[in-house]
Chain A
Amino acid sequence: MTRAVISSGPMPGTEPTMHMDMATDLAGILMPSPVLTASGCAAAGRELDQFFDITQIGAVVTKSVMLQPRSGRPTPRMAETPSGMLNSIGLQGPGIDRFLEHDLSWLDERGARTIVSIAGRTVDEYAKLAARLRTAPGVDGIEVNISCPNVEDRGQVFACDPTAAANVLQAVRRNSDPRMPIFAKLSPDVTDIVGVAESVVRAGATGVSVINTLLGMVINPDTMRPHLAGITGGLSGPAIRPVAVRCVWQIRKAFPDLPIIGMGGIRSGLDALEFILAGADAVSVGTVVFHDPSSPMRIHEELEQALVERGFATVAEAVGYAHRGADPVDQEDDLDFISE
């Protein structure tokens, strides 16, 4: 690892300004930052562009779009939980036609890099969505949401079954440009997330996005009934961060070269760094946007600072750094122990 050198000392009375090249190559998508938005927490970029320049972050990952317009679930759709929230939106959205015409074209014109998240009820719907995106300008990548917990039939959470997950990814791959980066968004609500990752990679996924929300539930003590109209919802926010970091770690350990977008409760640059050290090539920030709409840019700046302070010259150098071998001294101790 090369160490970044801070060329000049701090000016009297000022903080040292430390910069580095934050450029990130995510499966061939060249981005000025490893910080992306998380699907479902940034709509299609327009609203957040009021608070920061969305072309300066890595990419906008749009809210999962389906083939048809969809009303979503009744309200209440949300409950605040300790360091997190439950949502039960149910994939409300305009459908792919209006999305392409109204949202994707705007993002393209705006000059933002865009990873389009798609969700289907059947393998065939995913295939059709991929086919529609194949001819659409301004798609830098596809995130295949196979793990939304807010669907009527839990049996449809493709990401909970390696075979079903592979079927979806194979269909999306077959209907996409062979060079299109495709990320499978995985659920943490499985026994073996590495097995699901392996399955989608074999089926043609370029990389994985980890993690989607965890299935959760809140009971209202006043009404003494489930708080959400949809009864269960997806848990997100800082409360799930250790689970997400663990998932990234496990998948990186199994696949040293697989492109990974890490997400789950990132609120600060140091949180983002944790994911990168665990093995994420890029990170998505989601629920924090509800707390702080400027946060993607703030997290980018904090992450840059954190990387410089630790002597990294590029983001790539830090990816998976937590997996490095133990320090030589410790290894010798281990050998001594074994030889006895």
Chain B
Amino acid sequence: MVPVQVKGEVLDMRRVGAYHVLSLTAPGITDITRPGHFVTLGIGGEESSMVLRRAFAIHQVQSRGVYGGTLDVVIGVHGKGTRWLSERRRHDVIDIVGPLGRPFVLPKERVACVLIGGGYGSAPLFMLAEQLRERGCRVDVVVGASTEEKLFGVLDLKRLASTLTITTDDGSLGEHGRVTDVLPALMDRVDAGVVYACGPMGMLQAVAELATERRTYSQCAVEEAMACGIGVCMTCVVPVIGEDGVTRMLRSCVEGPVFRGDRVRWADVGTIPPDTLGAPEQGGH
């Protein structure tokens, strides 16, 4: 898989709850996209004062049709760059690079899979659910958010999953609480073979720890701040334990964004653990 850089045309921008869904033409990208891949979008046009691209998980792709390949991303407006994006309209042109990153690994056997999405972290789980079902895997989905408005794609997920469980911190929809409150019972009930998760770091940590305690394989898509998205800048690193037992600072953009849940040192994200390869002896780098 080799990523490409293309000009995409905005086909549609629509509000969904607290988010915006942007549909773009993406020639050459959609055919090679797998669940968990992401794209980066150039912000503000050619003379932009915002020099860094913004990364988004690919939500959906349509490979065929009159536009020759289109993709959807879900945008949460957090700052100037995402606001600019949310203000794009039909026919505007956006620079796209993708597909990027390591996608989710799919099981060879027909095991039961539990998919967990926090906020708009549910976006890449749609394609994943479809492909798992095509392989004959049972798919159960849990989505959680602080409040109803910040859930994404509840109706569509209901259609894709054997069961959909919703949790909100404020109880505005579904169970009052967090995804990890309902996860253990669900994993037991369906005899989960794999857990997939995408969402904020805190949620990923809790899900990965639960899965690891139960000796269940987990795959987590992280959301780290990136500058380049293609592996050259080294800003998006997280501490990950390798097969050799050595911790390294790995780039979320090329060695992730999907990591094995039991390999990421979640509690140490944002630090350099002292036993990391090349860690400073004292005082920091």
Contacts and interface: CB of A to CB of B under 8 A. Distances in A.
Contacts of A74: 270-272, 284
Interface in B143-182: none
B77 interface: no
Interface residues of B, number: 42
B278 to A, nearest CB: 4
B235 A78 contact: yes
Interface stretch (B66-74, B101-109, B224-232): B224-232
Given A41-B232, A50-B2, A293-B97, A75 B224 contact: yes
A71 B285 contact: yes
Nearest to B230: A47
A289 B285 CA distance: 25
Given A71-B278, A87-B227, A293-B5, A288 B232 contact: no
Contacts, number: 128
Give the secondary structure class of B's interface: loop
A69 B51 contact: no
Nearest to A43: B232
B284 A238 contact: no
Give the secondary structure class of A's interface: loop
Contact of B230 (A70, A87, A293): A293
Interface in A55-81: 63, 68-78, 80
A291 B52 contact: yes
Contacts of A294: 5
A87 B254 CA distance: 19
Contacts of B2: 50
A82 B233 contact: no
Contact of A289 (B224, B232, B269): B232
Nearest to A42: B232
A286 to B, nearest CB: 10
A288 B3 CA distance: 18
Nearest to A75: B270
B279 interface: yes
A7 B279 CA distance: 60
Given A69-B278, A71-B277, A90-B285, A237 B233 contact: no
B225 A78 contact: yes
A77 B234 contact: yes
B280 A152 contact: yes
A290 interface: yes
B42 A151 contact: no
A311 B249 CA distance: 50
B227 A72 contact: no
Contacts of B42: 291-292
Contacts of B232: 41-43, 47-48, 289-290
B272 A71 contact: yes
Q: Give the most central of B3, B233, B249, B254: most A CB within 10 Å.
A: B233
Contacts of A146: none
Chain A interface size, under 10 / 10 to 19 / 20 to 34 / 35 or more: 35 or more
Q: Give the most central of A77, A84, A95, A150: most B CB within 10 Å.
A: A77
A152 B53 contact: no
A117 to B, nearest CB: 14
A72 to B, nearest CB: 6
Interface in B79-131: 81, 95, 97
B237 interface: yes
A83 B43 CA distance: 12
Given A76-B225, A150-B285, A152-B283, A84 B51 contact: yes
B276 interface: yes
B251 to A, nearest CB: 9
Contacts of B228: 289-290, 293
Contact of A77 (B51, B235, B279, B280): B235
A27 interface: no
B249 A237 contact: no
A70 B272 CA distance: 11
Contacts of B225: 75-76, 78
Contacts of A171: none
Interface in A224-259: 229-230, 237-238
Interface string B1-21: 011110000000000000000
A92 interface: yes
Given A68-B278, A92-B278, A291-B51, A78 B233 contact: yes
Interface string B215-252: 00000000011011011111111100000000011000
A69 B52 contact: no
B279 A71 contact: yes
B50 interface: yes
A92 B51 contact: no
Interface in A245-297: 287-294
Interface of A: 40-43, 47-48, 50-51, 63, 68-78, 80, 82-85, 87, 89-93, 95, 150-152, 229-230, 237-238, 287-294
11 contacts: A40-B233, A47-B231, A51-B3, A71-B279, A75-B225, A78-B235, A83-B51, A238-B51, A288-B51, A290-B52, A293-B97
Given A75-B237, A290-B51, A290-B228, 14 more contacts: A42-B232, A47-B232, A68-B278, A70-B285, A71-B248, A73-B272, A75-B238, A78-B233, A87-B235, A93-B278, A230-B285, A287-B51, A290-B52, A292-B95
Interface of B: 2-5, 42, 48-53, 81, 95, 97, 224-225, 227-228, 230-238, 248-249, 254, 269-272, 276-280, 283-285
